[in-house]
Every structure is written in C-alpha cells, then in structure tokens.
Amino acid sequence: MTGTGLLEEHAEHEAAVEDLEIELLLEAAYRHSGYDFRDYTRATVARRLNALANTLGVPNISSLIPMLLHDEPLLPQLVSALSVTVTELFRDPNIYRELRQSVLPTLSTYAFFKIWHAGCATGEEAYSMAILLEEAGLYDRATIFGTDMNSASLAKAADGIYGLATMRDGQSNFVRSGGRGSFANYYHARYKAAQLSESLSRNMEFFVHNLVNGPALENMNLIMCRNVLMYFNRDLKDRVLEMFLDSLCHRGYLCLGAAETIDFSSLADRFEVVSAEHRLYRKL
C-alpha cells in the first residue's frame, strides 16, 4: 500500500473512532440526564465536542464520558457547548419588515394572541418582537413565550441586560427593520451594559423547553424558530415541525431561519408559503 493509501486508511479509521465516541457520549447524555442530542447533525456535534474537549484539556471526546457520568458540573458545559446561542436584536431586519406587513395585520384582529420564540437563546429576538408589537399598539394583547434548553441563556434573557455593542447593533437593525420610534426609548445604559426597559417583559415568559422531546404549547398564533432546525437531521426536523403544527392555532404562522425550509419535509403540505424568501409559512 502506498503512503497516500496508508494515510487515507488511517484518516478513515480515526473518523470511525470519533463517530463511535460521539455516539457513546450522546447516548450517555440521554440516559444520564434526558438531554437528547442524538439526532443533531453529526458535523456540528463533532466540531463542538472537539472544542469542548480542547477547552477541558482532555485528549478526545470519549474522555468526556466518565466526566459526564461522575462529574455533575460537566452537564451544563455540555448543554452549553451543544446549544444554539447566536442571536441578536432584530436579527435579519427584513424578517421584521415582513412580519409587519404579513402577520401583524392578522394578529390585530385578535383580542388576545400568543407568540412562541422556540430556541430563544439569550432572548434578544423575543424582546425585538415586544418592541415590534409595542410600536404597532398590539403588545397589550400579546403573550410572548421564550424557551430554550439552556437555563443559563434563559437567565440572561430574563435579566434583559446586554453589552453596549449589542445595543449598537440592535439600533442599526431596528432602523433597517422599519422601526419608527427611537430605539433609545427601550433601554437604559449604565456603565458598560444596557438593560432593556422592564415594560418590554410585562407580557413575556421565559422557561426551559427542549424541542427534541418537549411537549407542544397550545394555541400559538405565531412561532418563531430561527436558525435552530439547521442543526437537526431530517427525522428530528420532521418531529419538531409536527410538534409546531400541534402547537399552532388554526391558520397560525411559523417563521424559520434564512438557511432553513420546509420544502423537503414530509409535512410541507401541511403549510402554505406566505414568503419563501423570508421562510414564513402558515398552517393549513
């Protein structure tokens, strides 16, 4: 066998070993704690677990298994490593323009409505929705639910305290989203951080919910789940979409992330497309 052939065989062996290590760790996490990452896309999981192993100074992913089973503090680190925590205020501003045009007119016909930010991470998009509704004069009719499996992220969301850089980006996104008022009216800056106005959280609830095995929520008028399903394999995406269907009221809306679509899902015929560009759908 040539040197190149030996290198390829070694690489294949290493990849197979790593895949087995990941499978065993994820199975251990599920049996030990109930957190189910087994149907997350393998490339994402491998990258994040290798980063965690490197941070903890252990030689490989399998070294995390005894730590998980016998070292309780590792569990939140594992959950954090595999959670989707990237978000910002008015992320993808054109989405909020689309919501203003296509969804808010329908919501305005209800005396009361509910919005679910599924996988809300540290809460910026839930607060963005509150501002959107406040400007439209609809927030007093709304309840916003922000859920995530990462309790540390939810604690930050409940506090509503973010860095000044976050607020500067939020200001720019707010303007680009079609915001009409002064963004500065919605927060108070102090030292190197800013706290969002407490009035924005008056109709907001944050709580732990795992999309993989959590229950449906009832009678949601709009579900925002952006840039989360992209980390799930096809079977898990379909299970989560089925749960969203069970959660939505008749003719409720679902908004996904820019890299996500229902086009190849077995549930695609259960929705109509409101905006393909902005991944906005409506339950049939």
The answer to whether residue 155 is domain-embedded is yes
pLDDT computed for residue 85 by the predictor: 78
Domain match, 120 and 163 both: yes
Domain match, 59 and 98 both: no
Q: In sequence order, what are the residues at sequence separation of 6 or more whose Cβ sits closer than 8 angstroms to the Cβ of residue 94?
A: 176, 177, 278
Domain match, 73 and 173 both: no
Per-residue pLDDT of the chain (284 residues; tens, 9 = 90+): 565 665 566 557 577 889 999 999 999 999 999 999 999 999 999 999 999 999 999 999 999 999 999 987 899 999 999 987 779 999 999 999 999 999 999 999 999 999 999 999 999 999 999 999 999 999 999 999 999 999 999 999 999 999 999 999 999 999 999 998 899 999 999 888 999 999 999 999 999 999 999 999 999 999 999 999 999 999 999 999 999 999 999 999 999 999 999 998 999 999 999 999 999 999 99
Q: Last residue of a domain, which of 48, 82, 116?
A: 82
Residue 81 in tokens: 């490593």
CB-CB neighbours of 180 under 10 Å: 9
Domain match, 106 and 168 both: yes
The answer to whether residue 87 is domain-embedded is no
Report how many domains make up the chain.
2
Q: Is 37 helix (H, G, I), strand (E, B) or coil?
A: coil
Domain extent at residue 18: 3-82
Q: Last residue of a domain, which of 62, 82, 102?
A: 82
Q: Which residue, chain included where needed, has tokens 């973010």? A: 162
Strands 204-208 and 193-196: unpaired
The answer to whether residue 62 is domain-embedded is yes
Q: Last residue of a domain, which of 57, 82, 107?
A: 82
| Contact of 145 with 174, CB cutoff 8 Å | no
pLDDT computed for residue 203 by the predictor: 98
Long-range contacts of the stretch 231-237 (C-beta < 8 A, 24+):
231/40, 231/41, 231/44, 231/84, 232/39, 232/40, 232/41, 233/39, 233/40, 233/41, 234/264, 234/265, 235/39, 236/39, 236/40, 236/212, 237/265
CATH number of the CATH domain containing 197? 3.40.50.150
pLDDT computed for residue 2 by the predictor: 65
Domain match, 199 and 64 both: no
Domain match, 52 and 158 both: no
pLDDT computed for residue 3 by the predictor: 58
Domain match, 55 and 125 both: no
Reported pTM:
0.91
Domain match, 97 and 78 both: no
Domain match, 99 and 159 both: yes
